[in-house]
Amino acid sequence: MKKLFLMLLCMALVASFAIAKDGIDPVQKRVEMQAKIDALKAEGQAKGWTFTVGVNPAMQYTIPQLCNFKPELQSYNSDNDYIRYVQKGGKWISPVPTPTPTDTPTGDAYMGHWTAVRNQGSCGSCWAFSTIGAFESNLKKNGITTDLSEQWLVSCNTDGWGCNGGWFANDYMLNPGAVLESCYPYTATDSSCMSGCPYVYVASGSGDTGDDVAGIKWGIQNYGAVSVAVYVNNAFQAYTSGTFNGCEDKNCNHAVLLCGWDDSKGASGAWYMKNSWGTGWGESGFMWIEYGCSKIGYGANYLEY
């Protein structure tokens, strides 16, 4: 009897510690999460969504934890047509339209190059994963499959970017270059910069494609996956399959990659988008999203080896 009492007491202490650790009862958390999914399903039915939602690993985090792409952190450069903000103050700068390339692909569908889906965890380093993913994609297009370090960008950039947000870090791929994941593993933290890893791949160029569908298609076909931004809402976070059309016209908060397209999907076509929330999210880490939905394509850019 005494042993049973002690065992029950230990179980109670463990349970109380689990609740105290984040202040939320795990059972209550599951109930609240299911209620959120039920509400999203009802909204989707009312609005005619062409995708499904459900509980997935990304939902253990808040959207601010996952999505920390911050356009206001991009430093001003009068020679760059894509500058939207001055770094200090976030004052809006009217962009000069980027001309659409003349040799735009004409295919109705195309699947390009990409590397394995990664998982940024609770660190808002989507900007680093988008940058690294674009460079890895271009390397793969050139016959080189490799795994480059996102943590090096998070820890060693000199712009103050980290888990609290950042911008596309193409300049760091151009100089000094990228280091290997095996030398600088991902920790999902704002750890201090560690020296000693060689810069094994250095980009030779970087450019913008324009936000328009034709320009982004050109970038994907010629350079590999294109880095872009998008606005993430609750429906996006809970996405499990289908073509996402739960669009909202709000400021972008997340950086991802566009790897292909299919003009037959959605209202007028859809992008094949690679995320950085692990393979348990979406369609094994990917999403089909309608052209222009939730500003997908903002700041579209590429890297070249």
Q: For the domain that residue 140 is a member of, what is the CATH number?
A: 3.90.70.10
Q: Are residues 228 and 139 in the same domain?
A: yes
- Residue indicated by tokens 């000069």: 96
Q: Is 126 a catalytic residue?
A: yes
Respond yes or no: is residue 254 known to be catalytic.
yes
59 shares a domain with 25? no
Of the candidates 126, 247, 252, 259, the residue annotated as catalytic is 126
Q: Which residues contact 62 (CB under 8 A, 6 or more apart)?
A: none
Write down the pTM of the prediction. 0.85
Helical pair 213-223 and 126-141, crossing angle rounded to 10 deg: 60
pLDDT tens, 167-186? 999 999 999 999 999 999 99
pLDDT in tens, 232-246: 999 999 999 999 999
Catalytic residue among 123, 156, 254, 301: 254
Q: Are residues 165 and 271 in the same domain?
A: yes
pLDDT on residue 24: 64
Total domains in the fold of the chain: 2
- Domain span holding position 287: 52-304
pLDDT higher than 50, residue 163 = yes
Q: Angle CA(98)–CA(228)–CA(303) in degrees, nearest 5?
A: 75
Please tell me which residue in 67, 275, 293, 301 is annotated as part of the active site.
Answer: 275
| Same domain? 35 vs 136 | no
223 in the same domain as 138: yes
DSSP state of 75: P
Which run of H or E residues covers position 271?
A: strand 270-274
Among candidates 118, 49, 88, which has minimal Cα distance to 289? 49
